[in-house]
Chain A
Amino acid sequence: MTSNSLVYLIALPLFGSAVLLLAGRRCDRWGHLLATALSAGSFAIGLYQFLQMLGRANDQRAVTQKLFSWISVGSFQVDAGLMLDQLSICFVLLITGVGTLIHIYSIAYMSHDRDRRRFFAYLNFFIAAMLLLVLGDSYLNLYVGWEGVGLASYLLIGFWNQKPAYATAAKKAFVANRVGDMGLSIAIMITFATLGTVSFAGVKEHAPVASTGALTAIGIMLLVAATGKSAQFPLQAWLGDAMAGPTPVSALIHAATMVTAGVYLITRSNFIFDAAPTAQLAVAIIGAITLLFGAIIGMAKDDIKKALAASTMSQIGYMVLGAGLGPAGYAFAIMHLLTHGFFKAGMFLGAGSVMHGMDDEVNMRRYGGLRKFMPITFATFGLGYLAIIGVPPFAGFYSKDKIIEVAFNAGGIKGITLGTAALLGAAITAFYMTRVVILTFAGNKRWDEKAHPHESPFLMWAPMVLLAIGSVASGFLFTHGDALRNWLAPVVEPHPVHEAELLSPAVVSILALVLVGVGVAFAIVKYLRSQVPQVAPEDVSIFTRIARRDLLQDEFNEAVFMRPGQALTRTLVKTDAAVIDGAVRGVGRMTLGSGNLLRATQTGFVRSYAMWILIGAIGLIAAIWVVTQ
């Protein structure tokens, strides 16, 4: 089926971004309203498309729209085309829905910022780029959106770039993302070289006949791309610093949508990963490593946003793990992505609300007892908290337990290892999220007398309430009658056959709940039953110290990549100066020197020139005489 309205999904926010950037300060007064309205308009179109889709048969739901013939070089034919299928619509609704809520929230949150218009321009640009990412019908179209969201992320992390540290954080995110982007571009090149096409439909058609080696290479490169964009191990270091951006940005880009693009990419490329088991295993392993990595960092962070960022990293690790488990896991990865979009965005907005009331203080050791002052924030944050640690019947219980269950049932050592990692991650998640909630909302107050904590305005708490409703209800709705799984079935093709189950769903849920209970209990004992110092204690174990320093991720990158890179550039500069410049200067010097030598013959005396002519003539005659003899 084709549709002519898909392009408006992208065009509306793109138009808003262009207007806000081009009209400049003239639209300072109404720019944010336009941006919010256009984002909401995009959501309305998405909802309309969703309802249309519901009315069609399961295999007729995908709609496409060809915009124009983009690249036509020899056998390389790429159309700029859009495709909205069951997978894309999930993202479209998440991006535009959560995006619109965050636009509304930002109206109040950024109301004192003189650059609010520019902020909304970037937000709209992000929505457009992210929609292009999920709507593109080929890897190349996806790549455009992929780069677009990277740019939007860079601009928004560095939104307050008058602070050098924030500008550096933006650059760090951009550079880490570039590494991943290289993976994606290489994957596209291999795809074209081996399969002759880059469109999803074409690759899906040709993938079964391609060699496993080529598919594994593509899969690994796609995984590199996903690790960059989704802050997965080993390209995860940028996400913590990305919290330099305004909190709504952290909620929208660095929690709900952009960082999940990697999961989208892997799920979208399911036909490649299903045919390349090695790449698929790598995906699962990366996911398992990251979910523990993020969770461990999350335990040690005192900055509320950084703790949530580490949690995001960990939760995306769950999604990547799910996507790496093949057809059994794709639907649950997407489900966790959607539920995570609700509860994590809600918690980030809650963190923003707390910061709003606490004069932008982010250190949780300076919070405490805020539940009396910010009841709505506490309630919404608390619902998000229950969702993320996986308490039934909140959203995370359904999505996360399913991933753990699928991991256990993946079979053999692999299943047990991945499942244990996921289960352990759930316990750690429960610990650090409880810690965040206790440090922020419970216990004694630890803030200065200057701070006057107060509840945020309506425009801020309304989106939080809506997202909290999502975090309560979405899990049940998605799993009710396997709704999401059946919905996504035409795209990700889950095997209808059930393999032998190692652990039944009930056992997994009980195990997970017990471990969550242990984690919560630890946190309560450690932070609620004892006094929390205002300054982080220094006499802690080496493990805590390492975790506080993000498990030495920056140190690792500096030692392994940055310093050798700097040494390499220094060597190159020296080589350039000595060899390249030396050669050029040498030629110059040689010319100059030989000129100086020859200049000695130019005396200016006519008679000496005459002498030389005579000698030359005699020499010439002598030579001719010798030759002709």
Chain B
Amino acid sequence: MNAANYLYVSALLFTIGAIGVVVRRNAIVIFMCVELMLNAANLSFVTFARINGNLEGQVVAFFTMVVAACEVVVGLAIIVTIYRSRRSASVDDASLLKR
């Protein structure tokens, strides 16, 4: 099977994630989209590792997972806090930094 197909899937996943981040308002959904983009990147790494026949891409994928896990911990904590104080998880409502 052609390895490039994995890359097409990766690109598709990334695009879906990116569009989701831009168009959705719910912080949880945006978060999920971000995870989608990260996993798209992971898929690319693994694919390139396969194509090049070495392990570096796979190693980086693990790192990405670790970072993603950390990000989830911090990000969810922020979202929960915002939700508690504002009774809303909409990112458009949390636009106070402008002022």
Q: Are A607 and B97 in contact (CB under 8 A)?
A: no
Q: Are B21 and A607 in contact (CB under 8 A)?
A: yes
Interface membership of chain B positions 14-26, coded 1 if the CB is closer than 8 angstroms to chain A and 0 otherwise: 0000100111010
The residues of A that contact B22 with a CB separation of less than 8 Å are: 607, 610-611, 614
User: What count of chain A residues pass the 8 Å CB interface test?
Assistant: 9
The residues of B that contact A611 with a CB separation of less than 8 Å are: 22
The residues of A that contact B85 with a CB separation of less than 8 Å are: none
Min CB distance A621 to B, Å, is: 12
Complex alpha-carbon distance, A607 and B22, angstroms: 5
* A588 at interface by CB-CB < 8 Å: no
Complex alpha-carbon distance, A606 and B29, angstroms: 13
The residues of B that contact A607 with a CB separation of less than 8 Å are: 21-23, 25, 30, 91-92
Q: Are B97 and A604 in contact (CB under 8 A)?
A: yes
The residues of A that contact B87 with a CB separation of less than 8 Å are: none
Q: Are A603 and B98 in contact (CB under 8 A)?
A: yes
The residues of A that contact B21 with a CB separation of less than 8 Å are: 607, 610, 614
Complex alpha-carbon distance, A551 and B91, angstroms: 88
Size range of the chain B interface in the assembly: 10 to 19
Q: Are B97 and A614 in contact (CB under 8 A)?
A: no
Min CB distance B44 to A, Å, is: 13
With A603-B98, A607-B25: A614-B18 Cβ-Cβ less than 8 Å: yes
Q: In the complex, which of the residues B23, B30, B96 contacts A604, with contact meaning CB atoms closer than 8 Å?
A: B96
Closest residue of chain B to A617, judged by CB? B18
Q: Are B98 and A602 in contact (CB under 8 A)?
A: yes
Complex alpha-carbon distance, A606 and B22, angstroms: 9
* A605 at interface by CB-CB < 8 Å: yes
* B94 at interface by CB-CB < 8 Å: yes
Min CB distance B9 to A, Å, is: 19
Complex alpha-carbon distance, A607 and B25, angstroms: 8
Complex alpha-carbon distance, A629 and B53, angstroms: 26
Closest residue of chain B to A614, judged by CB? B18
* B5 at interface by CB-CB < 8 Å: no
The residues of B that contact A605 with a CB separation of less than 8 Å are: 91-92, 95
Complex alpha-carbon distance, A25 and B74, angstroms: 79
The list of the 7 closest CB pairs from A to B, nearest first, reads A604-B98, A604-B95, A606-B91, A610-B21, A611-B22, A604-B97, A605-B95
Interface set of A (CB-CB < 8 Å, partner B):
602-607, 610-611, 614
Interface pairs (27), CB distance under 8 Å:
A602-B98, A603-B95, A603-B98, A604-B95, A604-B96, A604-B97, A604-B98, A604-B99, A605-B91, A605-B95, A606-B30, A606-B91, A606-B92, A606-B94, A606-B95, A607-B22, A607-B23, A607-B25, A607-B30, A607-B91, A607-B92, A610-B21, A610-B22, A611-B22, A614-B18, A614-B21, A614-B22
Beyond contacts A602-B98, A606-B94, A607-B30: 17 other A-B pairs, Cβ-Cβ < 8 A, are A603-B95, A603-B98, A604-B95, A604-B96, A604-B98, A604-B99, A605-B91, A605-B92, A605-B95, A606-B92, A607-B21, A607-B22, A607-B23, A607-B91, A610-B21, A610-B22, A614-B22
